[in-house]
Homo-oligomer: A and B are copies of this chain.
Amino acid sequence: MPAKRVPDIVVARLPLYLRALSAMQHSGKEFTSSQEMAQWLGISSAQIRKDLSHFGEFGKQGTGYSITGLQQKLRQILNLEREWPIIIIGAGNIGSAIANYPGFAHRGFRVCAVFDNDPRKIGSHIGRYEVYDVRELPTFVRRHGIQLAMIAVPAESAQEVADLAIAAGIKAILNYAPINLSVPDHIRVENIDPVLHLQHMTYYLA
């Protein structure tokens, strides 16, 4: 399987395709085409076909893509046939909002613990999660073999918390703190910073 050679920018689009297919399925459709997906996503149909061609042949002449079939294949490619446990580090506004976000469960993820270092927060509850002391994080991560963490602490604590998580075995971080984390080469980091998106858009505004 040539999957290892697929450009990262192609991999980044696969979750978008999966999300569009789920929406189509919910609207009662069984088949789609690269043209329809293109219209849905604002990506060219040629791009979609080219992206998918990295992973084999999916569509059929005439009928297009089976929505269930393509979803299944994308889940398999993205390692989503299992459910991934995730921890959240930081029980502030953003950490709490993520912990209560209902959109993880059906898409391959399950929040399994929230950590903080603030004695006033430790032991309190966020939705159905008790907030644990961040000092318990290494043991928790090792015991449950957790590879994914979301970091939602202030910028000035984010690097320290990332180092702790990585030392404990975390392999991939979704970082909500507005800084660039320094991590070893084998660790994946993605960043969520609303200001980067807003500043990108103001370029185009008068």
Interface of A with B (CB < 8 Å)? 11-12, 14-16, 18-20, 23, 40-42, 77-80, 84, 86, 93-94, 96-98, 100-101, 103-104, 107-109, 147-148, 150, 171-172, 174, 178-180, 188, 190, 192-205
Contacts and interface: CB of A to CB of B under 8 A. Distances in A.
Contact of A200 (B11, B100, B201): B11
Contacts of A20: 180
A73 to B, nearest CB: 13
A147 B205 contact: yes
Given A192-B197, A195-B107, A195-B109, A84 B180 contact: no
Contact of A203 (B14, B101, B150): B14
B201 A190 contact: yes
A142 to B, nearest CB: 16
A204 B172 contact: yes
Given A147-B205, A172-B204, A202-B84, A194 B192 contact: yes
B78 A202 contact: yes
A158 to B, nearest CB: 11
B16 A196 contact: yes
A141 to B, nearest CB: 14
B205 A79 contact: yes
A204 B186 CA distance: 10
A108 B172 CA distance: 30
